[in-house]
Structure formats: structure tokens, C-alpha cells
Structure 1
Amino acid sequence: MHSIGQRALGALLLTSLAACGSGNGGTPGAGAFDGALTFDPAKYTTINVTIDGAQVPVRWYKEVCYVAKPVAASATQATLMGTSTTIANTQCGYQSMNIFVPESSSASQDTALYFAVNNGGWFASYIKASVTDGASYDSATSNVAAALKAGYVYIDVATRSRGMTAADGSWAGKAPAPVVDAKAAIRYLRLNDVLMPGSANRIVVNGTSGGGGLSSVIGASGNSADYLPYLAAIGAAGIDANGRSTLRDDVLAINAYCPITDLGNADLAYEWLYTTLGTRAAVGRNPNPTGSAQLAAKFPAYQAGLRLSNGSGAALTAENMLAQIRQEVIHSAEVYMAGGGTIPNLGENMTFTAGGMGGPATTVTYVNDWLTVDNAARKVVSIDMTKYLKFVATQATLKAAPAFDQTGLTVTASSGESNLFGTSAQKYSNFTEYGWDNNDVHGDGIGYDDTGITASRYFSLATTPVLNQVRLINPMAYIGTGTDTAPYWYVRHGTRDRDTAFTVSINLTRALQADPKVQEVNYRLAWNQPHAGNYDVPEAMAWIAATLKAAAARGL
């Protein structure tokens, strides 16, 4: 731990280096914009919250802009739910962070930084404040409360992403903007580590859905040079006048829920999962059977190309992927029973709360026709995978094919993640071969129908950013490479989650397990959970505490 004297000396040194490095040339080890990004430790407001009945004073550093050249935003912005909203901070509201420091940790430079990204569905995340003056929280159910009670610095991070419009009318959130912004925020924390409470070497990233995907690529791509030009363009900390990095942007741990990731191949995985046992037909949800079949047929080759292991030394392929999913569902149920939970047996009613992120919650009763358990022995006796997948597809309507690259295809009548891709002048771009070649909305300037250019040719053009954008937000492109992948991972994916295929999180975690830089992968399908996150606060926080202890033992 730093003494007060060491801390003051470090702050003075940092300020001096930043000032010297703020000019065109800078000095060795200083970023070109560092001088404009010095944290002010005195600029906070004290608020009071109640956690588990006890009053906790918290220092709030409000809307700290983490870049020197933020992208000015339009005052009116679209939301994930299809409505619009008016934002107050058009200057830096998508590139700033709210920092909450429990007063008890204000003098500590060792406590963890709980870095929360809030990008549902990969949508742009305007600045939010999860801690409200005068509010009461329960640390057993609120990750915010649990983090503050543990003495962690809680950080709400805003980032540009899909749907965000700039003041000049351009689409400023195109990939890899959310990753670049998150890395810029991490670099700001590293630059100002001696000035701020907490340790920038102990960053734990938390995110759900698109935020889970963002968390995953942040964790996988630590210190990759691929992002440096983008970081320089927004005036991020630790980028010198020649575009070289002078700071790190790797993190210690990832706490990700239902990660929507590997978007370039997510349509293949989704169609394979929900057609291999006839699920689409069984639930009467197959508006595009030809496209669904075409996409599903490409999954086996894609899966084989990943060269992953199934955990028993054999290759993880399309032939044994269902067995992997079955194994994970059984493990989920048995962990739930071991913790004291009771599962209705075959023929009995299951009751659960339907509706996930952004949707209304309703109580649903479903006859268990797929799982036989022995609650006394806390064991699963048998599972019918055909009926299980039908159950998953019944509790929430399956997405039309293609599930993610949907915009511009009238068969889907939806939007998906297509507006995360393309140039800043394009509202969206199809980002897969199927989406591009089957775009049938005339006049959008996208697809073979408007351009006369096939996807294989268009994506190969030097002026086309799409394939590189897909790679830059995909953790699978970085795991096992020369990047500094986070050593600790906690990944959860609900057993009732139909938003993305179970294969995506399984592949992610199997790739992580094969990476020698990764120390631990704590993965599980979360029993009876939909597309949601932070439903297991005590378990997740216990894991974070153990991780911090293990990291300290390793000198991290």
C-alpha cells in the first residue's frame, strides 16, 4: 500500500509528466493528451445511501470525461426499445463515467475498481448513475450495494455504440467505438492511478447482454495495437504523438452475463441450435425456413474451424455440441439443488418469471415435460433435449432468421445488430454474407440488390470496414493470441435464455480455458434464468473477493 507521502509524490510526478506530454512531441512515456486528462481528487459531492440498514457516505465524481476529444452528440437519441430520448450532456455524455467511492475507501489505493458497462443489446450507453442520494439498497440483491459494501470503487461507464448519432448527424457509434471508449476509460484510470482511490491494476469489468459481449472483448484484447488509431482519434490517455501506446488497457477480471458476442457467426449458431432437433417447427416459428437451413448448414464447418476441446480432450464439434449443452444444463440443475433449491419433477408444474431485459415481467406456469430429477439425491435422472429446447423457445419467441444481421431483410421485420456496422455515413450495414446477399430493401444502399456486388466481393474491398469491425468486437479473435487476456473470468448464461445460442458462451469459455494466460474460468448456465444479469450477487461477489485474493497472492 502507498503511504500518503508516496501518493503525493506520485501525483506530483504524474502531473508533471502529463504537462510535459501535452504538446505535439511529448516526452518519452507520456501521451499526447495526458495533460488534458488529469483527475481532480477534490471534485466530488458527498451523497449518502443506506446499505443493509446502515448509512454509507459515498463520494460521487460526476460525469468525468475520459477522453480529450469527445464526439459531440445530438441532443435527441434513439433507445434500445425503439423510442427516443433527450440527453443533457451532448459534449461528453457518451464518453464519461460516474465514479462512486465509499468514504471508507477514499484513502485506499488497493481496493478494486468495479467497472460497469451498461450496453444492453450492444446499444449506445449514455452516462448513468447507479447510486442515488438517499436510496436504500440490499447487498444480497444489488451488485451496486454489494460492491460499495465491499469497499470497491463503483464506476458507471458510458460508451458510444449502435444507434448513437453525432451532432453533425453522422452515426458515431459504429464498431469498434464501444470497445475503444471502454479502453479509453481504462487508460484514464491507469493514467490517474496515483491520484484516484482504488487500484487500476484491480479492474473487474461487469456487463450483461451486449455489455457482456463488450466485457468479453475488453477482457480478451488487452493492450492490442489494433485499437491505437481509434484511441488516438478521440484523444485517449496513453497515446503518444506518433500513435504509440504508453499505458496499458488490460484488466484483471471479467464478470459477464449472457454475452452477445461472436456476431459474425452468431446467426449460424442460432439456426443450428434451433433446427438441429426441430425446435423451430415444434413451436411454429420458422418464417424463413430456406434461410434458416442455409445458415444452420454452415455451423459444423465453423465449429470445426475453432479447434476447441470439449473438456475431455476430444474436439468440440457440431456432432457433440448438444452433449456439451446437455452436460451444462445438468450441472446447472444439480448446483441449484445442491444449494437447497427444489425442481418440480416430470409432469409437475414449473413456475417462473418470464420477460428479460427491457421487457415486462409476467409469471408463467409450464408443465415440466423434459427433466426428471431426484431432489433428495440432488441429481438429474434424465433430460430430453428436444423438449428442453422447445421449452426455451416457448418461454420467449424465437428470433427470425437471421437472428442478428436482420436489418434490410423484410422476412425478419426487425433490426438486430446491423446498425453497429458500416461507415459513419450509413445508418446500418449488413455484416454477414447471408445478410448482405439477401437484403431486399431497395434504396437503402446496402446489399446485392442495391449495389450489384456480392458479399464475398464487397467485404474484400479495401474501402469496406465491415469485416474488420466484426473482428474488433469479437473476443474469439484475440483469445490465445499475443494480447494480454484477463486472467480471471466469471461467465453466466441463463438456462431459459433464447436471445443468443448456448453454443456462443460455451465456445467463448472453452477458448478461454485453452489460453495459458487465463488462470480461472468460472462458467455455468444459470438455472431458470432468462436473458438477464446480476441475479446471483452473493455468489458473484464472493468470486470477485476470492479472485482479488488469488491475484494478490500472485503479485497482481
Structure 2
Amino acid sequence: MINRRQIMQATLATGILSGMGVGGARAQTRSLVFDTKNYTELTKTIQTARGDRVVAYRFYKAIPYVSAPVDIAYQSLNISVPVSIDGKPVDSSASPILFSNSVGGYMPSSVAEATGVGGAPMRGLPPMGMQPPPQAAPLTGIGAEVQSGGNAMIAGGKRVSNADLALAAGMTVVEPGARGRTLTDAAGIYYGVAPAAIVDLKAAVKYVRFNKGRIPGDTDRIVSSGTSAGGALSALLGASGDSPLFAPYLEAIGAADASDAIFAVGSWCPITDLEHADMAYEWNWGTNPLSRGSAVDQNLSAQLKSGFAAYQSSLKLKGLGGFGPLTSANYADYLLKMYLQPAATYYMSKLSSEDRAAYLAKNPHIRWKSGKASFGWSDYISHVGARKKGLPAFDAFDLSAGENNLFGRDKTKARHFTAFSQKHVTGAPEIDADIPALLNLMNPMFFIGRPDASTAERWWIRVGTKDTDTSLSVVANLAAALEANKRKVNSAMYWDAGHGANEDADSFVRWMSMASTR
């Protein structure tokens, strides 16, 4: 049970609730009224699946979104408003608003040095030696809605920016900064650790909604996007709208008096559900070797796998497509049927017959019959190859993982946040008393279905099938929990893609437009 007093006691010393700026000086109180005249006129040529678009837009840079910032360098946002596209006037006042964060690794994210829209685009790169699938073909995947176009990864392996593409589609784009886990003040206090990043993003949403009618766009149709840790924060933002558990944090930094609920979420390869992530990782990738060829301790891996079985059972989730109850025993079959084989089928169906034959010759474990790909779980695991992370993947025994730093406190850089790692290192399983509340505040799974949280209506969730940064079950559980709570979920996996892949960004932007139409 989380209460206001626990939150206050747990975080006063970090600067999150102190009302003090970096270095100890009390932060200046700032106006939260958006200045419609303080912009620069810019022009950008943006590549889309349907050709280049020349976009003229108004760029509002580094706007503080709270009245009492702890660190204004991070608690500011940029806004880009299209004025014309290919010379034709654009009015984005009734369009959805893309709320695009660039957080990675739960690190700090600042917009202060950006020179225009899309300062930190997501990657859309194919694996080494692999050709991207052809353009203009619909992506299939479990929970996918009908889409009007295809793979939006720019040919030649160039970077992809959701912000650019949304602007080229005539939408207002908001790019918020946020504090992150590595920030320290002059006294050595960590002031960007959990839950600072999600508090900041909520405050930025509040700023946008508070300025309804001043910021162009429909503030009731805000669509968040992010990848990796940014994908986790995007999902958390969508799951926890207006939760009272964040109220004291938001009050302390002078957030605007408005809702922080959003309409829709785009989440790519989210690094989330951290308290169960080590268990899930070993269930998924426990037998995969490390990149240097050695295996992790299989005894410890088995212990974590056992914990995943108990956790998965406790969720009482049913798979999409009428699959039935999801357990650790049938989860591999579920992923094969609902995500992996459809992803491979889509990929291979878009190859020429010659390229497909060559691909199958290199991967004889994949069977191709009647236009469909099939393979077993063990063959898939071998196909992926080396795992990216050691054991434990997230709550490292030596406190070296970024997530250990995320749960730092005061002058302590990193802490254990699972009983498994705490017990392995100290012999006692008791983690610090404030950790459980912080874990809840950072986990979208905690908020889905809660009556005191407004969860976004529509969700777009993606991950690559060769992404070993976390377990594939993290994405699949998120999608299943949302659908169980009557949310509309469009979830799929990119075959042979790694971490951070965003291969259908144009389709996402079209989905934003269609999903937001009333």
C-alpha cells in the first residue's frame, strides 16, 4: 500500500520533492502559459513512404513545463507546429498531438540543444547482412488493426523519426525532456532516479493540456511514443493517467493544474516490469550463450525461471486470439503462434523467390509451406544466438546495471530492487523499505485495471524478434493485460530485428490518424 507520507519520506532528500533546484537554491516560479509568439520558422525535407515532403513549421524551443523546476535543462519541452506541407497551408488545430520522448536507458533527456524537430529519432535498422523487407506491404501481427500501407523503415538502413513523420502528416509534435538516473547535484545527491522521469513526462502532458487552445492540436488526443526505456515510460504514461499516487511529486515541481491522461500509446521494446524482468529474461534467454560464448550459471538461471512460473500464474492472463490462460508452460507455444511465426511469414513473403530460397538455405530450421513459416521454440532460440545481458540481467549482483542506478537514493548511486539479488549478495532477502512503492510507480502492469488510473484507449506495441535486451514476454504480457481491460491493442514483432527497431513508422503515423478519428 502506497500513501502520501511514505512517498514524501522516501524522496525528500533526492530533491524530487524538496522544491529546491540543482545546487540547493530554491527554483524560480515560472509561468505555465504557453507563449504563442516565441517561435522560429524552420523548413525541413522529410522522407516518408510516399515520397519526400517539404514541411514549413514553427519551432518553439526549450519551454519550461513546470513552475518550480528542479533542473530546467531537462524539465523543458520543444513544440513543432506545421504551417505548410509542399507549399500547401496546414491547420493542425484539430489533429492528434504526438508526444515523443527520446529517453534511453532511463538516462537524462534534454531538448535544450535541439535545432529542430526530431532531435533524437528512433532507429529502424535491419540486422547486419540482412536486407530490409520491401515497402508498401501491410504488417501482420496479433492484435493488428487493418493498416493502409507497409513497412516504413527507410530504404538503405537510415534512421527513422516518428516526430518527423508526424509533422509531415500535419500533426503538432511535442518533444519533452526529462530527468534521468545519472544526474547529481553539487552535494552528490542523485535527483533523477525513480520516479523522476515519469513525473516529468506527466508534468509535460499536464502543461500541454493546460494550454488547450494555445498549443495547436487536440489535447484530448495526445499520443505518446518512445523506445526502450522511453518505450517503458510511454507505456507507463498511458497506463497511469491521473493516478493520485503521483500527486505529491507533481505538486512539488509546480505541475500545471490539468489531467495527465493520454489517448494512445506507441511503445517500442519497452524495458519495464523490472521487478520480474530477471525471472522473465531467464525463462526466455536462459540457455542462450553470452556474446563471448560462455553460458550463465544454469542453477541460478533455473531458480529465476521458477520465479517466472509463479509470477506468470499470478497474472491470470489470457492470450490474444482466444489462446486461453497464459502460463510458463505454454508461453513458448503462444509466442510462436501469435507473434513469431506470423512475423517470419510476413518477412519472408515479401522477399523475392530467389532471396527467400537463399534465406531458407541459410536457416534450414525454418520451414516454408503454403506461404507460411514454421519452426519450433528451440530452433528459434538457437536462431537468435547470443543473449545480450548476463545474470541477473537487470538487478546485477555487483550493482552495475542501469536499473540498479535507477533505484538509487540520496548519495547512494545504486541499490538492489529484488529479493533474489539482495539475498544472493547479503544472505537476507529484505530490500530497502521504499523500493516496493517505487517499483509500482515505475511499472505499467501495476496500473492497468486500477479504478483510480485512467488507462489510454489505444496501444501500438512493437519489438524485434532478435531483441535480447529483455524477455519477449514483457511485451506479450503488456498486450494481454491491456486487451483484458478492453483496450484496443495493435501489437506485433519484427522478424530478425534487434533492439530499437521501428520498421513501420509510417503505418504508426497513419494509425494515429485513424485511431484518433471520432
Counterpart check, 1:379 vs 2:372: yes
Pairwise CA distance, 1:416: 3.6
Deviation at 1:288, TM superposition (A): 3.0
- Offset of residue 38 of structure 1: 1.0
**Aligned counterpart, 1:235:** 254
Does the 8 A contact of 2:29 with 2:68 survive in 1? Answer: no
Q: What is the CA-CA distance between 1:280 and the residue it aligns to?
A: 4.1
After superposition, residues 392-471 of structure 1 pair within 5 angstroms as 392-394=384-386, 397-406=387-396, 408=398, 414-439=400-425, 448=426, 454-456=428-430, 458-459=431-432, 464-471=433-440
Change (3 A) 1:336 1:194: same
- Deviation at 1:378? 2.3
1:548 and 2:482 are equivalent in the alignment: no
Equivalent-residue separation in structure 1 for 2:202 and 2:355 (angstroms)? 45
Superposition pairs for residues 141-220 of structure 1, below 5 Å? 141-220=160-239
1:398 Cα deviation after fit: 3.2
- Find the counterpart in structure 2 of residue 268 from structure 1: 279
Q: 2:497 — aligned with what?
A: 529
| 1:117-138 deviations in Å (ceiling 9; x for gaps) | 1111222212266664999x99
Q: Shift in Å at residue 39 of structure 1?
A: 0.8
Identify the match of residue 391 of structure 1 among 359, 383, 387. 383
Q: Which has the higher contact order (CA 8 A, sep 6+)?
A: 2
CA-CA distance at 1:55 after TM superposition: 3.4
Query: C-alpha displacement at 1:317, in angstroms?
Result: 0.3
Paired AA for residue 301 in structure 2: S
Amino acid in the other structure paired with 1:540: F
C-alpha separation between the residues in 2 aligned to 1:316 and 1:405?
25
* Residue matched to 1:304: 313
User: Alignment partner of 2:226: what SS?
Assistant: strand
CA-CA distance at 1:286 after TM superposition: 2.4
Evaluate the alpha carbon distance shift between residue 98 and residue 344 of structure 1 in structure 2; reply closer, same or farther with a 3 A threshold. same
Matched, 1:494 2:464: yes
- Cα distance in 1 for residues equivalent to 2:383 and 2:38: 52
Q: Label 1:504 to 1:342 Cα distance change in 2 as closer, same or farther (>3 A).
A: farther
Find the residue that maps to 1:59 and give its secondary structure.
Answer: strand
**Which residue identity is paired with 2:226?**
G
1:39-438 paired onto structure 2 within 5 Å: 39-52=34-47, 53-72=52-71, 92-104=72-84, 108-127=92-111, 132=116, 141-238=160-257, 247-275=258-286, 278-280=287-289, 284-311=293-320, 312=322, 314-327=324-337, 328-338=339-349, 348-349=358-359, 367-374=362-369, 377-380=370-373, 382-394=374-386, 397-406=387-396, 408=398, 414-438=400-424
Give the aligned residue type for 1:542.
R
Give the deviation of 1:342 after TM superposition: 6.4
2:473 aligned partner, one-letter code = T
Q: Evaluate the alpha carbon distance shift between residue 35 and residue 284 of structure 1 in structure 2; reply closer, same or farther with a 3 A threshold.
A: closer
CA contact (8 A) 1:47 1:57 kept: yes
SS at match of 1:146: helix
Which deviates further from its counterpart, 336-345 or 122-131? 336-345
- The 1:546–1:340 alpha-carbon spacing in structure 2 relative to 1, beyond 3 Å, is farther
Q: How much has 1:492 moved relative to structure 2? A: 0.4
Instruction: For residue 314 of structure 1, report the CA deviation from its aligned partner.
Output: 2.2
- Please tell me whether the aligned partners of residues 290 and 296 of structure 2 are also in contact (alpha carbons under 8 angstroms): no
- Residues 168-220 of structure 1: CA deviation (Å, up to 9, x unaligned): 42111111111110000000001111211112111111100011101111010
| SS in structure 1 of the partner of residue 341 of structure 2 | helix
Measure, in 1, the Cα distance between the counterparts of 2:303 and 2:118: 55
Q: Residues 416-454 of structure 1: CA distance to partner in whole angstroms, max 9, x if unpaired? A: 411000323211111111222223xxxxxxxx37xxxx2
The change in CA–CA distance for 1:281 and 1:221 in structure 2 (over 3 A counts) is closer
Aligned residues: CA RMSD: 2.8
Give the C-alpha shift of residue 70 in structure 1.
1.2
Q: 2: distance between equivalents of 1:134 and 1:492? A: 20
Q: Using the alignment, how far apart are the partners of 1:344 and 1:315 within structure 2? A: 38
Residue deviations 1:451-472 (CA, integer Å, cap 9, x gap): xxx233x44xxxx321111110
How far apart are residue 65 of structure 1 and its match?
0.7
Once residues 343 and 503 of structure 1 are traced to their aligned partners in structure 2, the CA distance between those partners, rounded to angstroms, is 34
SS at 2:35's partner residue? coil
Structure 1 residues 159 and 281: alpha-carbon distance in aligned structure 2, compared to 1, 3 A threshold: closer
- Supply the distance in 2 between the matched residues of 1:134 and 1:112 (Cα, whole angstroms): 17
SS in 2 for 1:213: helix
- How many equivalent residue pairs? 444
- State whether residues 223 and 262 of structure 2, in contact with CA within 8 Å, keep that contact through their aligned partners in structure 1: yes
- How far apart in 2 are the matches of 1:386 and 1:369? 13
Question: Structure 1: any 5+ residue segments left out of the alignment?
Answer: 1-32, 73-91, 239-246, 351-365, 440-447
| Distance (whole Å) between structure 1 residues aligned to residue 440 and residue 225 of structure 2 | 21
Residues 174/473 of structure 1: CA separation in 2 closer, same or farther (3 Å cut): same
Using the size of structure 2 for normalisation, the TM-score is 0.80
Supply the distance in 1 between the matched residues of 2:102 and 2:340 (Cα, whole angstroms). 28
**Cα pair 1:283 1:393 within 8 Å, conserved:** no
Query: In the alignment, what sits opposite 2:141?
Result: none
Indicate the SS of the match to 1:304: helix
**Contact preservation (8 Å) 1:125, 1:158:** yes
TM-score by length of 1: 0.74
Larger Rg: 1
**Cα shift readout 1:229-269 (whole Å, capped 9, x = no counterpart):** 1111111111xxxxxxxx21110111111011100000000
Q: Contact (CA 8 Å) 2:78, 2:176: kept in 1 or not?
A: yes
What does residue 485 of structure 2 align with?
Answer: 515
Superposed CA offset, 1:11-54 (max 9, x none): xxxxxxxxxxxxxxxxxxxxxx9972111101111112123555
**Distance in structure 1 (CA, Å) of the matches to 2:171 and 2:291:** 48
AA aligned opposite 1:320 = N
**Does the residue aligned with 1:60 lie in a helix, a strand or coil?**
strand
CA-to-aligned-CA distance 1:81-102 (integer Å, 9 cap, x gap): xxxxxxxxxxx11111111111
Q: CA separation in 2, counterparts of 1:372 and 1:121?
A: 37
Instruction: Output the amino acid matched with 2:260.
Output: D
Output the CA distance in 1 between the equivalents of 2:174 and 2:261.
Answer: 17
How far, CA to CA, are the matches of 1:540 and 1:490 in structure 2? 8
